[in-house]
């Protein structure tokens, strides 16, 4: 992984990496010009909205955070202090959700990596949240700091990705109270894309905002005007909104930063067994929390997050990339667009290994999210085993699949030159185009170049040891990591970040536990 | 594979098969109600049509079949007997292609298996044509009759499939001159779905038509009115049309049966390196041959076939399931719809094994073909290694993926009952829906049931030997084959088919070689 050696192995790896990096199209924003997929008509979507309103009006959401209760009450929600249940009139929901922007710019420390969150812009983020990490060399293991850094670096190598996400894997070898600082520093230094502080509590958010401002070299006042950090707020479905997450969210909102409100509505577990019911509940929970964000600060950037899937009714385990998941993604996108909210979805799978099931489930997710114009495709690369594992090999597979999707969705050349009538006339019947001038002038750039596919004849492949896609992905990530180069960083900025981290670690160490 | 034994192994397999079969939704036609994907606008499609016309007018197609030259000349095409080049005026092409029906019924021997070829009906067919066969137990090997029959039987077990296709694998252990008769008999007896005689020469087609008529119990006059057999006519791209295939096609057309006209336009090999150029050539070749079919018999059922992909420019090997392939599929569908022709595409992949690459490439194909309303998705199940291998495990993977696609595309319930507001109100915040009445009443049928996915927790999966999707697919096909039951057949029909086969084999044996 490091670049210590200079032996023939390393040289081969370096050449491979140069080839792989060279074969990726350059980083660029991604706009999907196809119309978004739609499964339901307006009348059917009205019914889901109506059910969401009834849930909010008749059942309400439980808010564990006192400050949230105060804000909600002050703005006209029906707050029951004894049960902490908050009921929202549909008019109140409409009024406050309408204040959220339909689109905004998310700022990176590298201005060339700013992206638009909204419209038909689709942004891919890295895996976030798994407790475990896995690769073929070191096996499946609890996350640690080295793996966390390696995944951040690897994903920085993928030109297909726009966002560097939240903790790709927990660093359990670091002290729990301060490991978020090490993670933030890694994001500030090893990647130049927007990333995600941990929303568990106000202090962790404050650290994140301070370090984002340092890494961008902007004041907190400028940060307030320029969304530059995002965080995911999961509700504790059904209908419960966490104490610490909301504390973090309110601090994000007050500072003009992005909250991605994502109910976790697994059909048959935390929501009804029917997809329509889960979506109604998803809307109810998302609308309630989004309304709160707009009560805190009208116009604050928020994202409507969908995470509706189903459980395996035999085991109760979550199932991802299923037909139910695809429906949840598509209809969730329809709902977000009706409400003029940016939309977040995910690239998910259940598989325990990087096999055909993993690819199948992730392709179900990717086609659905991309063709639904999900503005953030969370867990874009590396998510395995229903989110319990961040996988190095799955990261390569996902980058490959995202790259292929982006390639076919790009503009298609139908110029006279591309239509090639003269070239066709010049090749005799039954002939071939291999050496034709038209081919020779274009063949090097004519096709999308895969970073993973093996197109060699069977015998050649067998002689190479019959490497399957997972084995080849293992070679690819090692080659990419070996050639990783950190994006340019001002040394003074790194110094300021390091000083912040050191000071905060001292404060945390001194704090009464 | 056979049901000889009755030991505990067999009983376990039988139970597993019963569970798998029970978990498949029943066979049914498949209509895609989403609007078809579109990458190009009308002006761009006009340009492709225009290029196709120029190819037909200025370069022409070479026809190796004399009868075809006669027919084409008689109907106004510009035939050069010395070069065998036929040039078509665009008016002539428009006139004759317009005679082809936009939709027709394809008749099966089981009337419940009739399907519509046209509109937004999508029909999946089995793998056709590979010389080799593969499974994890017996390895990769040249095809033989036993494997051919097993694949036909296995695919009959998949409720997702509508068509039984052409030879799933060559039976090279049978005499070359008569092995088509054994294949036809297997199709007549082991499946109840429409299938595909070999179009190599008039005699093989005639045998196919005779046996289709026998299996359906209809006269040749009724067969003429009722399309019941299909065959694929590949052009020898670029711009060459084969002698024997056209002989077979003309006999199909004269007998009212279905020709699927499919140029094989690999960008950079048999067609220009640009997808637009390959599509122009695909249209030119398809339109020329489709015009011929309508000169033979106006109104004959034909299908516009697309098989545009690219080669790997490093090795010259064909590449499938690529971004270029997806574009070819989508734009091919747009062209077919403009010309009011049914459309054939394929589920393809390049991978050498049933790994993540195979699933990824096939999912690229399946999403593109299904959302393009391909009326026939050829090679729906079992195609591996760019078509060099028919794979038992890939068959299961494909059936799984097709099943999942069909599931999310089906109608979605947004009734009051499905919206489940009362059920949501009845579960307290932070609770769960596992034991809720609403869940209990629906959980057994609420979700699509996978035949392949492994959703068990990681540790359980490891204790079972960490079986990847390919290994599980191996278990699934053996269980399904062990429980295979032939569709009901009238013994007199089988007798008549056997008598026909015996008589023809004698004739062939007596014929001068």
Q: What is the 3-state secondary structure (H, E, C) of B380-444?
A: EECEEHHHCEEEHHHHHHHHHHHHHHHHHHCCCCCCHHHHCHHHHHHCCCCCCCCCCHHHHCCHH
pLDDT of residue A315: 80
- CA-CA distances (angstroms) from residue A4 to A12, A185, A482? 14, 23, 10
Residue in this structure with the two tokens 């990530």, named with its chain if needed: A477
CA distance B181 to B204: 8
CA distance A132 to A466: 28
Residue B12 has pLDDT above 70, yes or no: no
Q: Which residues of B touch A242 (CB under 8 A)?
A: none
Q: Which residues of B touch A434 (CB under 8 A)?
A: 268-269, 316
Residues lower than pLDDT 50 in chain A: 1-6
Please return the burial class of B131, using the count of CB atoms within 10 Å of its CB with bins 0-12, 13-18 and 19+. middle
Q: Which residues of A touch B443 (CB under 8 A)?
A: 268, 273, 313
Residue pair B343/B381 in contact (Cβ under 8 Å)? The answer is: no
Q: How many CB atoms lie within 10 A of CB B4?
A: 7
Tell me the three state secondary structure of residue B461: helix
Long-range contacts of B6-15 (CB under 8 A, 24+ apart): B10/B482, B13/B478, B13/B479, B13/B482, B13/B483, B14/B479, B14/B482, B14/B483
Q: How many residues does chain A have?
A: 513
- CA-CA distances (angstroms) from residue B222 to A175, A340, B228? 81, 58, 10
The DSSP bridge partners found for residue A121 are A31
Question: How far out from the chain centre does Cα A79 lie?
Answer: 34
The DSSP bridge partners found for residue B258 are B230
Tell me chain B's radius of gyration from C-alpha atoms.
24
- Of A457, A343, A384, the C-alpha closest to A134 is A384
Q: Which residues of B touch A315 (CB under 8 A)?
A: 455-457
pLDDT in tens, B284-307: 999 999 999 999 999 999 999 999
CA distance B414 to A339: 19
**Phi, psi for residue B204 in degrees, rounded to 5:** -65, -40
pLDDT in tens, A1-34: 344 444 666 666 666 776 776 689 999 999 999 9
pLDDT of residue A11: 67
- CA-CA distances (angstroms) from residue A446 to A449, B52, B310, B314, B327? 9, 21, 9, 12, 13
Residue B363 has pLDDT above 60, yes or no: yes
CA distance B468 to A437: 46
Tell me the three state secondary structure of residue A163: strand
Mutate to test the interface with A, among B136, B355, B443, B457 (most CBs of A within 10 A): B355
- Find the range with the poorest average confidence among A193-202, A401-410, B100-109, B119-128: A193-202
pLDDT of residue B174: 98
A300 to chain B, closest Cα gap in Å: 27
CA distance B152 to A401: 32
CA distance A291 to A230: 18
Mean pLDDT calculated for residue range B112-129: 98
Residue pair A196/A232 in contact (Cβ under 8 Å)? The answer is: yes
Residue B90 has pLDDT above 70, yes or no: yes
B152 to chain A, closest Cα gap in Å: 23
Residue in this structure with the two tokens 């079972």, named with its chain if needed: B464
Q: Pick from B275, B310, B454: which is nearest to A357 by CB?
A: B454
Residue A383 corresponds to which tokens in the numbers above? 């998510």
Long-range contacts of B109-116 (CB under 8 A, 24+ apart): B109/B188, B109/B192, B109/B212, B109/B215, B109/B216, B109/B217, B110/B192, B110/B193, B110/B487, B112/B27, B113/B27, B113/B162, B113/B192, B113/B193, B113/B194, B115/B29, B115/B162, B115/B163, B115/B194, B116/B29
Strands annotated E in B357-438: 376-381, 383-384, 389-391
Question: How far out from the chain centre does Cα B432 lie?
Answer: 44
pLDDT of residue A343: 98
Tell me the three state secondary structure of residue A351: coil
Residue in this structure with the two tokens 């489940």, named with its chain if needed: B420
CA distance B379 to B361: 13
When pLDDT is cut at 50, 70 and 90, the band that residue B10 belongs to is low
CA distance A507 to B418: 53
Q: Pick from B240, B351, B361: which is nearest to A429 by CB?
A: B240
Residue pair A356/B469 in contact (Cβ under 8 Å)? The answer is: yes
CA distance A436 to B281: 15
When pLDDT is cut at 50, 70 and 90, the band that residue B1 belongs to is very low
Question: How far out from the chain centre does Cα A389 lie?
Answer: 15
Q: Which residues of A touch B271 (CB under 8 A)?
A: 424, 433
Residue in this structure with the two tokens 């997808």, named with its chain if needed: B275
Number of inter-chain CB pairs under 8 A, A vs B: 381
pLDDT in tens, B259-283: 999 999 999 999 999 999 999 999 9
pLDDT of residue A8: 63
CA distance A105 to A126: 19
Cβ neighbours for B12, distance < 8 A, ≥ 6 positions apart: none
Element (H, E) at A279: helix A275-296
Cβ neighbours for B208, distance < 8 A, ≥ 6 positions apart: B180, B184, B197, B198, B229, B231
Residue pair A356/B356 in contact (Cβ under 8 Å)? The answer is: yes
CA distance B279 to B85: 21
Q: Spell out a b/e string for A48-58, using b for 16 or more CB atoms within 10 Å of the CB, else e.
A: bbebbbbbbbe
Termini Cα distance of chain A: 37
CA distance B308 to B269: 11
Q: Find the residue in B nearest to A420 (Cα).
A: B277
Q: Are β-strands A115-118 and A78-80 bridged in parallel, bridged antiparallel, or unpaired?
A: unpaired
Q: How many CB atoms lie within 10 A of CB B343?
A: 28
CA distance A262 to A259: 9
Q: Which residues of A touch B363 (CB under 8 A)?
A: 359-360, 363-364, 367
pTM of the model: 0.96
What's the order of all strands across the beta sheet hosting A302-305?
A123-126, A376-381, A343-346, A302-305, A258-262, A230-234
Q: Which residues of B touch A461 (CB under 8 A)?
A: 352
pLDDT of residue A192: 97
Tell me the three state secondary structure of residue A219: coil
Contact B357 A456 (CB under 8 A): no
pLDDT of residue B314: 79
pLDDT of residue B513: 61
Termini Cα distance of chain B: 37
Mutate to test the interface with A, among B32, B419, B450 (most CBs of A within 10 A): B419
Residue in this structure with the two tokens 């504390």, named with its chain if needed: A247
Residue pair A280/A48 in contact (Cβ under 8 Å)? The answer is: yes
Q: Are β-strands B230-234 and B383-384 bridged in parallel, bridged antiparallel, or unpaired?
A: unpaired
Question: How far out from the chain centre does Cα A290 lie?
Answer: 19
Residue B23 has pLDDT above 90, yes or no: no
pLDDT of residue A7: 61
- Find the range with the poorest average confidence among A304-318, A454-468, B174-188, B418-432: A304-318
Residue pair B313/A447 in contact (Cβ under 8 Å)? The answer is: yes
Residue pair B273/A442 in contact (Cβ under 8 Å)? The answer is: yes
Q: Pick from A397, A433, A447: which is nearest to B356 by CB?
A: A397
Q: How many CB atoms lie within 10 A of CB A5?
A: 11
**For residues B420 and B11, which has the higher predicted lDDT (pLDDT)?**
B420
pLDDT of residue A117: 98
CA distance B162 to B164: 7
Residue B380 has pLDDT above 80, yes or no: yes
- Find the range with the poorest average confidence among A261-265, A464-468, B14-18, B320-324: B14-18
pLDDT in tens, A73-126: 999 999 999 999 999 999 999 999 999 999 999 999 999 999 999 999 999 999
Cis peptide upstream of residue B364 (ω within 30 degrees of 0): no
B161 to chain A, closest Cα gap in Å: 18
CA distance B111 to B116: 12
CA distance A492 to A500: 12
Please return the burial class of B387, using the count of CB atoms within 10 Å of its CB with bins 0-12, 13-18 and 19+. buried
Strands annotated E in B238-281: 240-241, 258-262, 266-267
Residue pair B402/B379 in contact (Cβ under 8 Å)? The answer is: no
- DSSP label at A113? G
């Amino acid at each position: 992984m490091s670049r210590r050696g200079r032996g023939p192995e390393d040289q081969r790896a370096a050449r491979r990496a140069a080839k792989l990096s060279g074969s990726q199209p350059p980083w660029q924003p991604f706009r999907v010009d196809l119309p978004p997929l739609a499964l339901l008509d307006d009348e059917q979507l009205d019914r889901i909205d109506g059910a969401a309103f009834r849930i909010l009006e008749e059942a309400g959401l439980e808010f564990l955070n006192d400050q949230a209760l105060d804000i909600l009450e002050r703005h006209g929600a029906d707050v029951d202090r004894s049960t902490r249940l908050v009921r929202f009139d549909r008019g109140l929901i409409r009024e406050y959700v309408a204040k959220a922007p339909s689109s905004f710019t998310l700022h990176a420390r590298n201005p060339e990596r700013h992206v638009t969150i909204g419209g038909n812009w689709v942004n891919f983020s890295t895996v976030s949240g798994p407790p475990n990490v896995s690769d073929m060399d070191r096996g499946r293991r609890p996350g640690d700091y080295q793996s966390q850094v390696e995944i951040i670096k690897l994903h920085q190598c993928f030109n297909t990705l726009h966002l560097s996400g939240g903790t790709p894997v927990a660093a359990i070898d670091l002290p729990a109270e301060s490991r978020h600082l090490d993670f933030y520093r890694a994001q500030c230094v090893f990647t130049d894309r927007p990333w995600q502080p941990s929303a568990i509590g106000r202090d962790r958010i404050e650290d994140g905002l301070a370090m984002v401002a340092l890494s961008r070299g902007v004041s907190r006042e400028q940060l307030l005007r320029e969304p530059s950090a995002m965080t995911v707020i999961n509700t504790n479905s059904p209908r419960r909104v966490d104490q610490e997450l909301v504390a973090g969210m309110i601090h994000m909102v007050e500072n003009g930063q992005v909250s991605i409100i994502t109910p976790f509505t697994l059909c048959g577990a935390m929501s009804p067994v029917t997809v329509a019911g889960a979506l109604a509940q998803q809307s109810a929970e998302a609308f309630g929390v989004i309304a709160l964000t707009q009560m805190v600060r009208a116009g604050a950037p928020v994202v409507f997050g969908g995470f509706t899937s189903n459980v395996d009714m035999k085991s109760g385990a979550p199932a991802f990339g299923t037909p139910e998941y695809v429906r949840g993604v598509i209809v969730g996108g329809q709902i977000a667009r009706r409400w003029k909210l940016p939309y977040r979805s995910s690239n998910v799978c259940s598989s325990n290994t990087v096999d055909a099931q993993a690819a199948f489930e992730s392709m179900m997710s990717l086609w659905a999210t991309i063709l639904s114009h999900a503005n953030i495709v969370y867990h874009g690369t590396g998510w395995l085993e229903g989110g319990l594992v961040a996988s190095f090999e799955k990261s390569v597979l996902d980058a490959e699949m995202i790259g292929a999707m982006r390639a076919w969705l790009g503009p298609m050349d139908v110029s006279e030159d591309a239509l090639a009538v003269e070239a066709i006339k010049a090749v005799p019947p039954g002939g071939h185009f291999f050496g034709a001038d038209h081919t020779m002038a274009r063949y090097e750039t004519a096709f999308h170049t895969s970073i993973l596919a093996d197109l060699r004849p069977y015998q050649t492949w067998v002689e190479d040891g019959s490497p399957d896609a997972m084995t080849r992905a293992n070679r690819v990530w090692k080659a990419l990591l070996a050639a990783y180069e950190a994006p340019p960083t001002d040394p003074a900025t790194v110094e300021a970040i390091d000083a912040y981290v050191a000071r905060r670690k001292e404060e945390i160490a001194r704090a009464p536990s």
